[in-house]
């Protein structure tokens, strides 16, 4: 089978988020099963920021048994990257099936057009702001117009898709509201357990001489960093946290300056270490040496960061927002709090810090969750099964 995976970013732009890892893990595992897999994407680099496109990146690069086909982005607005020549690459290669990941993107429109032109099935996954992102209605007039145009194409893409791969039941319901006739398969997101192995001393590298709590994610308002900083303001004089630090790791998506000003305003510079644009190896080692992860997001569909934390037997404090409870389960592998509630978040942090047995039990449960269900091998096998079903049904038409 010849599989085209289409997404707005791929290697080396690992800081873009979950879409990158999902596509790469699917490509690697499905190609290892003997199939011809290519990721069609942009030349987003991230070496100098979240919107840097690098013409010097290889146009066609092989990673193990799969390939990444990059085309240059000539124009971008926020996370909408225009690389017009990508469709030519897909049409030239004539895949048997196209799987687009990240619906609110120009690349999903290209995948849809190529599918219609080549008369081959289209599989759809989101992993982004389908219709639930809280800031879609809080942007400038120009962006709101762009979002409405995107919504028109999103509905077209969903209506014309052969099948939808949804990460959880919450996401499935969103798709059904757009088209109740859609064929939807729930395929859990998975992480690559082989790569989630710490190979360096994170504390030594960053000269951290105390235990620390970890945040990993984009420096964005939707990630709840403001709430997290406010909770540390509440906790800073508590004896339970006197020798603990908060490490915030990520890349700027518009909130970095405000975040730094808030840390300075609350005199938390000695309590909070901000690591910008961290190498992937540092993120992995940070998971391993942290006490636990905090992800106080206002919005998530199916986050991968908690799964990565679970791989190191580290529990997660997150929120009850949107699709999060399908990954972080309150009292089982983590603690859930209300979003934008620093007092409740502070209490949860103290609870996990003080109760070693509870923290260990949650961590082991999370570890079992990713090993049994949310790993990239299971994700790839289930995705491949869906591809085969769709192609079989397409042949019988």
d(C-alpha 16, C-alpha 10), whole Å = 8
The answer as to whether 195 is a domain residue is no
Compute CA 351 distance to the chain's CA centroid, rounded to the nearest angstrom. 27
pLDDT at 137: 59
d(C-alpha 316, C-alpha 318), whole Å = 6
Do 178 and 66 share a structural domain? yes
Q: What mean pLDDT is reported for the chain? A: 91
Do 140 and 247 share a structural domain? no
Give per-residue burial for 312-329: e unless 16+ CB within 10 Å, then b. bbbbbbbbebbbbbbbbb
**What's the pLDDT tens digit per position in 50-75?**
558 998 999 999 999 999 999 999 99
> Structural domain tally of the chain?
2
Taking residues 113-119, what's their average pLDDT? 96
The answer as to whether 131 is a domain residue is yes
Q: State both tokens at 25.
A: 């893990």
Do 368 and 253 share a structural domain? yes
- State the helix-helix crossing angle for 256-265 and 225-235, rounded to 10 degrees: 10
Please report, for the domain that includes residue 112, its CATH number. 3.40.50.2000
Give per-residue burial for 58-87: e unless 16+ CB within 10 Å, then b. eeeeeeebbbbbbbbbeebeebbbbbeebb
**What's the pLDDT tens digit per position in 196-216?**
988 889 999 999 999 999 999
Do 380 and 359 share a structural domain? no
The answer as to whether 99 is a domain residue is yes
145 pLDDT band, cuts 50/70/90, is confident
**What's the pLDDT tens digit per position in 249-306?**
998 888 999 999 999 999 999 999 999 989 899 999 999 999 999 999 998 888 999 9
**What's the pLDDT tens digit per position in 316-370?**
999 999 899 999 999 999 999 999 999 999 999 999 999 999 999 999 999 999 9
Q: State both tokens at 238.
A: 């508590």
Give the residue numbers spanning the domain of 226: 202-372
Which residues neighbour 150 within 8 Å (Cβ) at sequence distance 6 or greater?
80, 104
């Amino acid at each position: 089978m010849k599989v085209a995976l289409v997404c707005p970013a791929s290697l080396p732009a690992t800081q873009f988020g979950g879409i990158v890892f999902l596509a790469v893990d699917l490509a690697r595992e499905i190609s290892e099963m003997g199939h011809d897999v290519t990721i069609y994407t942009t030349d987003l680099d991230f070496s100098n920021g979240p919107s840097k496109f690098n013409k010097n990146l290889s146009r066609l690069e092989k990673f193990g048994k799969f390939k990444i086909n990059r085309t240059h982005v000539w124009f971008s607005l926020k996370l909408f990257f225009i690389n017009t020549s990508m469709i030519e690459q897909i049409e030239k290669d004539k895949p048997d099936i196209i799987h687009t990941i990240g619906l609110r993107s120009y690349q999903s429109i290209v995948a849809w057009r190529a599918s219609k032109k080549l008369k081959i099935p289209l599989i759809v996954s989101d992993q982004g702001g389908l219709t639930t992102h809280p800031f879609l209605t809080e942007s400038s007039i120009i962006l709101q117009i762009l979002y409405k145009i995107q919504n028109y194409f999103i509905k077209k893409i969903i209506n014309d898709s052969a099948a939808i791969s949804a990460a959880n039941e919450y996401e499935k319901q969103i798709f059904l509201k757009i088209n109740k006739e859609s064929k939807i398969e729930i395929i859990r997101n998975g992480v690559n357990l082989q790569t989630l192995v710490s190979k360096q001393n994170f504390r030594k590298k960053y000269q951290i001489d105390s235990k620390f709590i970890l945040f990993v994610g984009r420096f964005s308002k939707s990630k709840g960093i403001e709430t997290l900083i406010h909770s540390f303001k509440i906790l800073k004089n508590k004896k339970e946290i006197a020798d603990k630090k908060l490490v915030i790791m990520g890349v700027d998506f518009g909130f970095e300056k405000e975040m730094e000003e808030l840390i300075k305003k609350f005199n938390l510079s000695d309590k909070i270490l901000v690591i910008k644009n961290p190498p992937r190896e540092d993120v992995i080692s940070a998971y391993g040496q942290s006490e636990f992860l905090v992800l106080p997001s206002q919005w998530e569909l199916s986050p991968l960061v908690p799964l990565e934390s679970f791989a190191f037997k580290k529990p997660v404090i997150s929120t009850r927002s949107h699709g999060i409870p399908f990954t972080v389960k309150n009292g089982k592998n983590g603690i859930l709090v209300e979003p934008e509630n620093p007092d409740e978040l502070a209490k949860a942090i103290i609870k996990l810090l003080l109760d070693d047995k509870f923290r260990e039990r949650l961590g082991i449960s999370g570890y079992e969750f990713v090993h049994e269900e949310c790993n990239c091998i299971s994700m790839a096998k289930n995705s491949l099964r869906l591809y085969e079903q769709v192609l079989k049904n397409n042949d019988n038409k």
